[in-house]
């Protein structure tokens, strides 16, 4: 029995050594599956340690990992099959050339062999084209399937987030007190407006709440702050928080030029948010989410009106730079860059 097993191992080893494309595909497949398994073990272990309760998208996550493990393996072996076909075609062509070299005195045979070679080449070319087309189609189907799974997974996570207790939601995105009716106005400064645009940092931020209450007394700023709160809430659904987004600060003169209607290179300093992840998330939501897009355009118009008013009343005052660097200002910069408002 040991001799039979050793014989099988020798034959398998000889097959792998004699078929390099197959060996390469097998090695790549083992490495890929090992990597996916290791990543999946770490992912599910990490999730299990930080998330309590049932996971609404668990089946989708499993399907996504299985798809990620098996789809590339199919491509590896299909590529190996194509490589073997190309090698066999090369060997047949070499044999035909050698045969033609050995029989130079027979023109009829040479012509017949040439015709046969061209026919074989045409057939193999057609077969390769069909295989490549099938590979492209499979890749497109896999890409579409992954996109559908990711979309369902995101929807399931949003539903799970909405189902969390109120305290858990507040930990992720503090509630902003815009639902209450503000007291009567007694005067308002631009410093309070700018502070209100950044919203209270936490429940103990007395200065932030005082500035917010003062700004809410004027209808124009109340509308702007409501639009800003809506956008910050929509951003948080994708885990995007403005305090985590890095932004370069433009000069007051750049914002004044923007308020005057300048665009393009003339105001290149404005729109200092260059976080590609944040921009990609917002760009995707703007394309597929109608509510998100309408809310974003409404907020853009309101904040643009604020910038023009500040430029008119304050001129090159540093407060306009501070307004652009608030949480509301950074949300405006992201949306403006995505929609091309700075171009």
Give pLDDT tens digits for 101-155: 766 555 665 677 677 777 877 777 787 777 777 777 766 766 665 555 455 444 4
Q: Can you give the pLDDT at residue 142?
A: 60
Please state the rounded mean pLDDT for residues 46-65: 59
Residue 307 has a pLDDT of 92
DSSP string across 252-289: HHHHHHHHTT--GGGGTTS--B--HHHHHHHHHHHHH-
In this structure, the number of other CB atoms found within 10 A of the CB of residue 216 comes to: 22
Tokens for 151? 């979309």
Specify which residues 273 forms β-bridges with: 247
d(CA 46, CA 114): 64
- Residue 81: per-residue pLDDT: 80
Which pLDDT tens digit goes with each residue over 280-304?
999 999 999 999 999 999 999 999 9
Residue 180 has pLDDT above 80, yes or no: no
Residue of 321, 339, 59, 8 whose CA lies nearest to 190: 321
What's the Rg (C-alpha) of the chain?
Answer: 32
Contact between 311 and 232 (Cβ < 8 Å): no
| pLDDT band of 87, cuts 50, 70, 90 | confident
pLDDT at 165: 44
Q: Which of 213, 257, 264, 245 is nearest to 333 (CA)?
A: 245
| Distances in whole angstroms, Cα of residue 28 to Cα of each of 34, 38, 248 | 10, 15, 43
Q: How far apart are CA 3 and CA 155, in angstroms?
A: 58
295 neighbors 227 (Cβ within 8 angstroms): yes
- How far is CA 314 from each of CA 97, 189, 249, 300, 304, rounded to the nearest angstrom? 85, 12, 18, 21, 15
């Amino acid at each position: 029995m040991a001799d039979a097993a050793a014989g099988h191992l020798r034959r398998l080893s000889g097959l792998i050594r004699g078929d390099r494309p197959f060996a390469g595909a097998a090695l790549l497949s083992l490495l890929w599956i090992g990597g996916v398994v290791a990543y999946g073990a770490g992912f599910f272990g990490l999730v299990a340690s930080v998330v309590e309760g049932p996971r609404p998208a668990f089946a989708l996550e499993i399907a996504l990992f299985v798809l990620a493990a098996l789809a590339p393996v199919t491509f590896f072996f299909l590529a190996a099959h194509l490589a073997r076909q190309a090698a066999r075609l090369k060997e047949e062509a070499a044999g035909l050339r050698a045969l033609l070299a050995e029989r130079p005195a027979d023109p009829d045979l040479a012509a017949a062999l040439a015709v046969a070679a061209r026919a074989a080449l045409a057939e193999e070319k057609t077969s390769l084209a069909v295989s490549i087309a099938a590979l492209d189609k499979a890749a497109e189907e896999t890409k579409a399937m992954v996109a559908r799974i990711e979309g369902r997974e995101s929807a399931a996570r949003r539903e799970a987030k909405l189902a969390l207790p109120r305290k858990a939601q507040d930990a992720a995105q503090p509630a902003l007190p815009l639902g209450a009716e503000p007291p009567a106005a007694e005067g308002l400064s631009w410093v309070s407006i700018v502070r209100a645009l950044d919203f209270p940092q936490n429940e103990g931020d007395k200065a932030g709440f005082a500035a917010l209450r003062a700004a809410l007394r004027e209808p124009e700023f109340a509308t702007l702050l409501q639009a800003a709160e809506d956008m910050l809430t929509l951003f948080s659904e994708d885990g995007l928080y403005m305090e985590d987004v890095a932004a370069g600060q433009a000069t007051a003169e750049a914002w004044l030029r923007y308020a005057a209607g300048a665009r393009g290179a003339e105001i290149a300093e404005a729109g200092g948010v260059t976080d590609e992840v944040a921009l990609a998330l917002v760009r995707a939501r703007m394309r597929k989410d109608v509510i998100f897009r309408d809310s974003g355009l409404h907020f853009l118009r309101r904040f643009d009106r604020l910038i023009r008013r500040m430029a008119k009343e304050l001129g090159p005052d540093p407060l306009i730079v501070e307004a652009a660097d608030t949480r509301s200002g950074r949300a405006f910069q992201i949306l403006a860059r995505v929609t091309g408002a700075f171009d």
